[in-house]
Structure 1
């Protein structure tokens, strides 16, 4: 198999827009957790906690004609892709040999809710643009039109594993030669209060326990966890074969050396120990490494009472308790469809900078037999990393990354 490398990143998150701001906030452990204020997130009787993007700017990226009909998810997708596109110098490549995979489905629920409520009694005045914009494929259309992508573009749904699943599919697309370059974009899932109620009802989203201190609510792997806390996030990664542009002045972030995908054959949201062990072993086997060679694990780590426990059991069973571990969601919140792509981005930035971000609110870990990064950032020479993502419906994924300068 040819070496597959990641050559460009873009990220937009509640903690910062762009790689530099995002990484600064990660290392400092800065957060934006509070009661959500965006219209459509509360129904008058709720106080859902989350991390929302503020001071977002897209004026230099999106034409005014597009802005009028582009949802917030679409605007953030375009802006995030713009950053990754520029870093990877994709204006120089053949658009017919470039693909785009948008990880996520049902990503515009809040805006659909607002539109439907606004026009409920006057549907005859609804803009014809709604006929396009309610479809998640509109993100593909907007991005491919803005950047001239002609290879292929499609959406891929894998619940909270969507972002990582998009990366895995992008890797397979360039490995097979279907395209030379493929962009994986973890789309921002713009949830409404309906999704918040549903996720709370499942026991997946955190409860009202921390209403007096919302900054304490997001606490993956801590004994006081009681569910995930939502965060607005989006990330884009440019994936290509190392041989595609040997003369380009690019500095790859890492090589993708192993991956795993496994289904539990289970519709329910509960995690599977066997499924998680299976994808870890698939990724390590494809990478041709043993567990002892993994320096760092970026886990799924949502704050789920059952999910956190199962994930640590899987990592222990696979011999990975020695590896440094933190959780990006403790700072950014759970981006749902975007989470896997955002956490791979965080992993790559940490590998490049040689520093691991802290884990917020990890006061009493559920398992002390791990090399936790505590409440302060730590310097680390990370050569090989493992990223985990899981999604409702029994979806398990894992990705193994190696420093591009390491044999």
Structure 2
């Protein structure tokens, strides 16, 4: 039984999660691949991703319609929509949400403009035959279509909306889900980091911006994603989606659902900056805000799941913030080295990666960390490490000067 010793009835806990990624569909596959450091990086093949280009990335394969999903809904859903429904299904089942008043359940989806590949495919298909485009495109091109798909399939009637925070969207969704419960709008809220379906246009722009790699490892995709390594040259895209079910502790106990962890501190700050360059001050402020709310000293954090994209500037700034917050003692690894950068999904998927490492009492390896830019940190290198996480900090940053931090406590 779950013990209530030293717990507050008002604490927010995570009672279910779902994940879909290129290294595994579902928590079991994902956990195995994560702890073994498996990867799926190669030249991307999904239609609409390349145009006389050879961008590297990790793509989801073998996605099929679950038996209890309407075939028409599945057929008309975008790829982002299909992945969202499959991912939510796993979280929903684990949290045992069947039979709960649908008006007391909410869904916040992190991300915006996440169906770009399908939009450009529509343009290319119908630009000469405009009148033949399906009427359903009139609503399916909107981000809110993911809300409609998921709330219809799972009969969610409390609230649902999307929130955009660039690569911090997944964590922003979690913060908004907590707020929805705090304000009494719903009793249970699901936060999802949606799959951002990039087209060749976004890939090229991100490459030209210097954010996306990799020129250096164009012929060696396995070595391309290398956060915090001296030879990094930008992030490598990875398709992913994550969903977590959040509720108050007393709600979970009343339903006899054992939580993964408590969310005991959150932080969000803005740099007042449109451009993609990061701010150490903003990141430090977000971390300190989360620690203050959690009532923890820096030395009580024993694991950090960083943003860690492989950015030439971003990785340096993030490690500087970790040092300034006196967190250099904590274990640290980089999930994006294994799964790639999920952009809008990253914050939620990496929180789930943290929960699964808590459950297994093991920390996954960091691939390609051959020459760490800060070798004195407690890196998890090429092999996984046994470690019982007590208090973890997960970090996300997004273009537009968005910094988020979430502190969780092990309740397993």
TM-score, normalised by the number of residues in structure 2:
0.97
Secondary structure of the residue aligned to 1:86 is helix
- Which residue is 2:59 aligned to? 52
Question: Does residue 140 of structure 2 align to residue 133 of structure 1?
Answer: yes
Matched positions, count: 404
- Residue-by-residue CA offset, 1:361-403 (whole Å, 9 max, x unaligned): 0000000121000000111010100000000000000000001
1:59-208 matched pairs, under 5 angstroms: 59-208=66-215
1:266-281 matched pairs, under 5 angstroms: 266-281=273-288
- Residue-by-residue CA offset, 1:270-319 (whole Å, 9 max, x unaligned): 00000000000000000000000001000000000100000000000000
- Which residue is 1:40 aligned to? 48
Give the drift of 1:169.
Answer: 1.0
The two structures, once aligned, show a CA RMSD in angstroms of 0.9
2:311, 2:16 → 1: CA distance?
Answer: 32
Q: Is the 8 A contact 1:175 1:241 kept in 2?
A: no
Secondary structure of the residue aligned to 2:73 is helix
Question: Does residue 340 of structure 2 align to residue 333 of structure 1?
Answer: yes
Question: Does residue 23 of structure 2 align to residue 15 of structure 1?
Answer: yes
- Which residue is 2:298 aligned to? 291
Give the drift of 1:61.
Answer: 4.6
Q: Is the 8 A contact 2:66 2:86 kept in 1?
A: no
Runs (4+) off by over 3 Å = none
Q: Is the 8 A contact 2:111 2:193 kept in 1?
A: yes
Q: Is the 8 A contact 2:214 2:236 kept in 1?
A: no
Going from structure 1 to structure 2, the CA distance change for 1:245 and 1:324 (only over 3 Å counts) comes to closer
1:65, 1:56 → 2: CA distance?
Answer: 16
Give the drift of 1:246.
Answer: 2.4
1:92, 1:286 → 2: CA distance?
Answer: 34
Q: Is the 8 A contact 2:262 2:411 kept in 1?
A: yes
- Residue-by-residue CA offset, 1:103-149 (whole Å, 9 max, x unaligned): 00000000111111001100100000101110010000010000110
Q: Is the 8 A contact 1:61 1:82 kept in 2?
A: no
- Residue-by-residue CA offset, 1:136-163 (whole Å, 9 max, x unaligned): 1000001000011011000000000000
Question: Does residue 35 of structure 2 align to residue 27 of structure 1?
Answer: yes
1:62, 1:77 → 2: CA distance?
Answer: 13
Give the drift of 1:17.
Answer: 0.2
Give the drift of 1:352.
Answer: 1.2
Question: Does residue 257 of structure 2 align to residue 250 of structure 1?
Answer: yes
1:318, 1:245 → 2: CA distance?
Answer: 33
- Which residue is 1:401 aligned to? 408
Structure 2: runs of 5 or more not aligned: 1-7
Secondary structure of the residue aligned to 2:245 is strand
Secondary structure of the residue aligned to 1:250 is coil
Secondary structure of the residue aligned to 2:397 is strand
Structure 1: runs of 5 or more not aligned: none
Q: Is the 8 A contact 1:181 1:240 kept in 2?
A: yes
